[in-house]
Amino acid sequence: MVGVPGATQLEECPVEQAEEHLEALRRWSERLEPATFSADAAARLLDVAGAIERLGAALKLRVVPRALQGASWREEGYRSEAAWLAERTRSSVPQAVAVKTTAERLETLPATAEALAAGALSPLEAQTIAAAAVADPTAEASLLEAAGTLPLHLFTLAAKKTAQAAYVADPGHRGRLHARRFFRAWTDEEGMSRISGALLPEDGLELISAVRSRAAHVADEMRAAGEEPEPQAAYDADALVALVAGDERRATFAGAEGGRSRSPQLVLHVSAEGLRRGVLEDGEWCEVPGVGPVPLHVADSLAGDATLTVLARSGVDVRTVAYLGRTVPTDVCRALAGRDPTCVVPNCQVTVGLEIDHWKVPFSQGGPTALWNLCRLCKFHHRLKTYEGFRLAGGPGRWEWFPPG
């Protein structure tokens, strides 16, 4: 546009309009007194706030490539475009990298970019489609359709399965992912040490297996010492430190030094037909509850490992032996972990620290400890059901949740 008469006015006009709308929204927000709203009005305003947030994030994705073209980040002393973008948008560098990566991918995905601009996609949906389409460019249309019809967690699962299939079928894609592996550490605003990373599926499962195996012993040691139970995530954190640093305070159990202790901690559940065939077809799955889809060959590479239990499923239910005692046998626990990888309450996606409930016939009324009478709930929903009159109905694959009354 340089040298074109009137170009500056054309470029500045939409910016000025946006700034005017932003200022009007800011003044309106300052006048709000949420404490005076009804609960229904507050919930509706929450929807509006979410829509505004998504609109802003979508606008950022659309303008980032053009803004970066003229960014003088070197001259301003920044180490990278991402660092410049992070400061400009008051976000972290990893967040800026994710925005920049998605924006670049959208330039090769016009249908997804158009849907984002029209408000048909949230930025998270656009990011998910863009990442999966890198693995399989032919999947863009089907993922766009899924975004408009599936709940968010099912749409995300569909995208992960697309990437999983590409990982198996395309060695080049595996190589690209391998080149992008990373580990980062930083200190957060509370002074806690934070870590993040990205690994190939088989490497990630090896790490998770080791952590969960060690965490089981950490929990046993703490219970034996009479300490109050803590969340699974806390045990996992202690286990990770024990594995890396050999901290005897966190891991005094046998075998703490010189490697890791192995015990059955991971459950891999896989389509029975795909497992027999050795290849997954459309509609079949291979995944670790709480982790997500993994390539079928990971099952082969870990099948001889004591940390892995393979649970073959057919449909939404898992058939196994029923017991009448209150203690849930190991095989029933494994079946439940495969059938109910998350809290069964619709829209609850909690995957760790789940508790087992006699949902159909309470144990106090003679309900058996059988798979058909058991389900897994997060601590919050378990408490609501046990003490506050909430009810479950339906069963595997069709769960329903009802308030008291």
Render pLDDT for 272-286 as a digit per residue (tens, 0 to 9). Answer: 666 666 677 776 767
Same domain? For 237 and 255 the reply is yes
In-domain check, residue 295: yes
pLDDT at 289: 66
In-domain check, residue 170: no
Please tell me the distance from the alpha carbon of residue 236 to that of residue 243, in angstroms, as a whole number: 10
In-domain check, residue 150: no
Per-residue confidence band for 258, with pLDDT thresholds at 50, 70 and 90: very low
Count Cα neighbours of 165 within 13 Å in the Cβ-side half-sphere. Answer: 18
User: For residue 225, what are the domain limits?
Assistant: 194-261
In-domain check, residue 214: yes
Share of the chain above pLDDT 70, in %: 79
Return phi, psi of residue 282, to 5°.
-55, 135
pLDDT at 273: 67
Same domain? For 282 and 334 the reply is no
Please tell me the distance from the alpha carbon of residue 130 to that of residue 85, in angstroms, as a whole number: 20
In-domain check, residue 88: no
Same domain? For 210 and 250 the reply is yes
Residues 65, 66, 72, 78: is their CA dihedral positive or negative?
negative
User: What are the pLDDT digits (tens) for 298-343?
Assistant: 655 554 443 445 555 555 544 333 333 456 777 788 888 888 988 9
Q: Which of 278, 313, 348 represents a domain boundary (last residue)? A: 313
Per-residue confidence band for 39, with pLDDT thresholds at 50, 70 and 90: very high
In-domain check, residue 304: yes
Same domain? For 340 and 308 the reply is no
Same domain? For 220 and 274 the reply is no
In-domain check, residue 36: no
In-domain check, residue 166: no
Our count of domains for the chain comes to 3
